[in-house]
Amino acid sequence: MSRIGKKPVTMPSGVTATTEGSTLTVKGPKGTLSLQMVDEVRYDVADGSISVEPANDSQRARAFWGMQRTLVQNLVTGVTEGFSKTLEITGVGYRAAMQGKNLRLQLGYSHDVNVEVPADLTVATPDQTTIVISGADPQRVGQLAAEIRQWRKPEPYKGKGIKYRGEYIFRKEGKKK
């Protein structure tokens, strides 16, 4: 029995959910998100909640049960509150700035790195060393954050690079004389 899967997903006011074919669509103030439904799991949209139950007693249905409930919860959270990730840049001369719809990164290369921001995400730079990525879809937010971080991963000797806020960088001792 899935402890997570047993709980129904409550929908706040202003959020509507519909099922069409094999797609669950959730609409809210921050946009519309959809999820491809799995055949092994049954989705029931009732008044103010969405319940997720296994369609049969197979191992595959029970394995999908809790995960699908969490994905439905992410849809509801995304259209109401949204998701965000914060990146921090450490290093002398490393900085970030928004230029129109592009994020311009100066990371010690001979050229500036321009990252295109998708239309469904918003990127803000409160200061030169902080990047805040926000949007309704947690997968898209995380993917863009990972692509930005890929340009200069934090290194263990001086700690220079782009890291997630709250991420611990294991520091190594340098050469000894």
Give the pLDDT band of residue 98 (cuts 50, 70, 90). very high
Report how far residue 147's alpha carbon sits from residue 22's, in angstroms, rounded to the nearest whole number.
31
Comparing C-alpha atoms, which of 23, 21, 65, 18 is closest to residue 46?
Answer: 18
Give the pLDDT band of residue 145 (cuts 50, 70, 90). very high
pLDDT tops 70 at residue 1: no
Who wins on pLDDT, 21 or 141? 141
- Please tell me the pTM assigned to this model: 0.88
Average predicted confidence (pLDDT) for the chain = 93
Q: What is the CA radius of gyration of the chain?
A: 21
Report how far residue 76's alpha carbon sits from residue 69's, in angstroms, rounded to the nearest whole number.
11
Amino acid letter, residue 90:
T
pLDDT tops 70 at residue 108: yes
Q: Is 66 left (phi over 0), alpha (psi -120 to 50) or beta?
A: alpha
